[in-house]
Every structure is written in C-alpha cells, then in structure tokens.
Amino acid sequence: MLTLLSAFISGLLFGTGMIISNMIDSTKVIGFLDVTGQWDPSLAFVILGALLVFTPCYHIFIKQRNLALSGDKISFSTNTNIDSKLVIGAMLFGIGWGLAGLCPGPALTNLGTGSLTILLFTLSMSIGMLLVDKVFKKRTIHFQNQIIGR
C-alpha cells in the first residue's frame, strides 16, 4: 500500500510542478532549446529549482538507505561508457524533442488535456520504446546464444 501511495503522491507532485512551471507548453520548451535564436532561459530556473529541492531530499531520505520512500531498492547503473547506443539514442531523443517540443514527462502530463496530438505523440513514443526493447532483447539473446554455442 505504501508503494501505491508513494507513486500516487510522487506523480501528483510531478504533474502539478510540470503544469505550474509551464514545462508542458511545447512552445516554451522549444524557446528554451533554441539557444541560437531567441533563447528563453526561464526553464533553466525550473531545472535549477528542482535540483535545489531534490538534492537535500535525496541525501536525507534516500541515499543513506538506498531505498525509495516506497521501500523499493534503488540501484544505480555502473555503466559509464559512452557507446554508440547512447549517442544514437541521445540524437534520436533530441530530434524528437526538437520536432515536437515535448519529452516524455510533459507529454504524459499533457495527456489530461485530451489533445489528439499529445495522445498520438505518447502512443507512438510508447510503440517506439516497445519495438526497440524487443529488438535489443532479441539481439542480446542472439549474441548470448552465439557465445555459449547454441
């Protein structure tokens, strides 16, 4: 029950913060990303403000225990390699973000508006994630089978 309550409260805070800070407005986001045009730095203050609140909360509530408030174990990736998957993924993410002015958090928050465009964006994003996940799992299984001689 604590896990569900934690997820509910976290999602509620996240979505409310996204709306109040105007991070769900794609024109605002594109203005922030357009550093060579009429750059709007205001979203940098949203990110800075979030980090200023997150950092002490993380150190007080999470880091010592390595547990989320829900009780789930938090594990951190030890992979610090910059490989082709990271670079290509970042480029594709950037293209999608630049074209639509949306990234996953704001898109999910915007679902509540009932916008068909947002619904299509979120649906196609989910399909893309599922397809890539299937492709990489198949490739991983194929390479593992080659290594062990199957």
Q: DSSP characters for 7-68? A: HHHHHHHHHHHHHHTTTT-HHHHHHHH-TTSS--THHHHHHHHHHHHHHHHIIIIITTTTB-
Instruction: Give SS3 for 93.
Output: helix
Domain boundary among 20, 55, 76: 76
Instruction: Give SS3 for 73.
Output: strand
Q: Does residue 138 share a domain with residue 122? A: yes
Q: Does residue 59 share a domain with residue 107? A: no
Q: Does residue 126 share a domain with residue 91? A: yes
Q: Does residue 143 share a domain with residue 95? A: yes
Total structural domains within the chain = 2
Range of the domain at 118: 80-150
Q: Does residue 102 share a domain with residue 132? A: yes
Find the mean pLDDT for residues 7-31: 87
54: exposed, middle or buried (C-beta count within 10 Å: 0-12, 13-18, 19+)? exposed
Q: Does residue 86 share a domain with residue 25? A: no
Q: Does residue 40 share a domain with residue 61? A: yes
Model confidence, pTM? 0.68
Residue 67, CA distances (Å) to 3, 71, 76, 78, 109 in order: 12, 5, 11, 17, 26
Higher pLDDT, 68 or 129: 129
Find the mean pLDDT for residues 28-43: 88
46 close to 105: Cβ distance less than 8 angstroms: no
Q: Does residue 84 share a domain with residue 55? A: no
Domain boundary among 57, 76, 95: 76
Q: Does residue 88 share a domain with residue 69? A: no
Cα(51)–Cα(88) distance, integer angstroms? 27
Residue-wise pLDDT for 91-104, tens only, equals: 999 898 888 878 88
Domain boundary among 20, 52, 76: 76
Which candidate, 135, 130, 98, 100, places its Cα nearest to that of 115? 100
Residue 34, CA distances (Å) to 23, 27, 103 in order: 15, 10, 15
Q: What is the pLDDT of residue 140?
A: 55
Q: Does residue 44 share a domain with residue 12? A: yes
The pLDDT-based confidence of 6 (bands split at 50, 70, 90) is confident
Q: Does residue 84 share a domain with residue 24? A: no
